[in-house]
Amino acid sequence: MKIVLIGYGKMGKEIERLAIGRGHQIVARIDVDNQAALSQLSKQDVDVAIEFSNPASAFGNIMTCIEKQIPVVCGTTGWLEQKAQVEAATAKHQSTFFYASNYSIGVNLFFKLNKTLATLMAGHPEYDIYTNEIHHLEKKDSPSGTAITIAEGIIDAYPAKTKWVNNEIPAANEVAIWSQRESIIPGTHTVKYISKVDQIEITHEAFSREGFALGAVIAAEWVKDKKGVLGMDDLLN
């Protein structure tokens, strides 16, 4: 498979290592110093683009791919207020857009566990809900995309909660996400239910970026001949 990497930072380099190991070819690496190279590519040059850049540049990069009908697998977080525009453009250009806030298989299992736990706990208001994410000091967005997905999962399953807040004391209808930036931590997410007498806690801790990168390459292999707006639920089910 011919892959273009958009964003050649920590994730771009890890994806390159795993993609080459699985027999794929990297035909271009687009980063901040050669952004124009993306507009010169056509769908004949590339099977799929994998986009891990930053919150400010993701939308433009994705739209360029969609307009060229290059299938794009995006992992960049912190830009999702523009996702509806991307979905409309995908339909208009009969193109392909795959998105996940987290490509790790373990985290996607954790998302399911989180929803099941929230369903159980919805009948036990004596427990307060607490969620926490810890990431390395270079992370640009807060809260993490994964933490937002976790909070949305709780809101779906726990009728008394209708919105999330970040790093502020929550009102009764709010899920608090507490964000922490520390050292080189690849990504740790915790959900706790705390009562006066005990607590229930689930945590996913990534030991490296390998799980994220492998999931993105598997998504690229799966999506290359598909059309429409897709995500991890489509891939894993």
Ligand X SMILES: NC(=O)C1=CN([C@@H]2O[C@H](COP(=O)(O)OP(=O)(O)OC[C@H]3O[C@@H](n4cnc5c(N)ncnc54)[C@H](OP(=O)(O)O)[C@@H]3O)[C@@H](O)[C@H]2O)C=CC1
Based on the shown chain and the rule CB under 6 A, indicate whether residue 146 belongs to the binding site for ligand LZUJQKHR.
yes
If DSSP codes are grouped into helix, strand and coil, which group holds residue 195?
A: coil
Is-catalytic flag, 189?
A: no
Could you say which of 2, 13, 29, 139 contacts ligand LZUJQKHR (CB under 6 A)?
139
* Listed ranges 10-18, 63-71, 86-94, 148-156: which one lies at the site for ligand X (CB under 6 A): 10-18
Determine what percent of the chain falls in helix, strand and coil, rounding each to the nearest 5. Answer: 40, 25, 35
Q: From ligand X, ligand LZUJQKHR, none, which one binds at residue 170 (CB under 5 to 8 Å depending on kind)?
A: none
Q: From ligand X, ligand LZUJQKHR, none, which one binds at residue 211 (CB under 5 to 8 Å depending on kind)?
A: none
Q: List the catalytic residue out of 13, 83, 93, 139.
A: 139
- 30 burial (CB, 10 Å; 0-12 / 13-18 / 19+) is buried
Q: Which residues of 66-88 are buried (b: 16+ CB within 10 A; e: fewer)?
A: bebebbbbbbbbbbbeebeebee
Could you say which of 76, 90, 114, 132 contacts ligand X (CB under 6 A)?
76
If DSSP codes are grouped into helix, strand and coil, which group holds residue 140?
A: coil
Q: List the catalytic residue out of 135, 161, 189, 204.
A: 135
> Amino acid identity, residue 62?
I
Based on the shown chain and the rule CB under 6 A, indicate whether residue 57 belongs to the binding site for ligand LZUJQKHR.
no
Structure tokens at 98: 């795959």
If DSSP codes are grouped into helix, strand and coil, which group holds residue 20?
A: helix
Residue with Cβ nearer ligand X (20 or 56)? 56
* CB of 146 vs ligand LZUJQKHR, minimal distance in Å: 3
Is-catalytic flag, 139?
A: yes
Positions marked catalytic:
135, 139
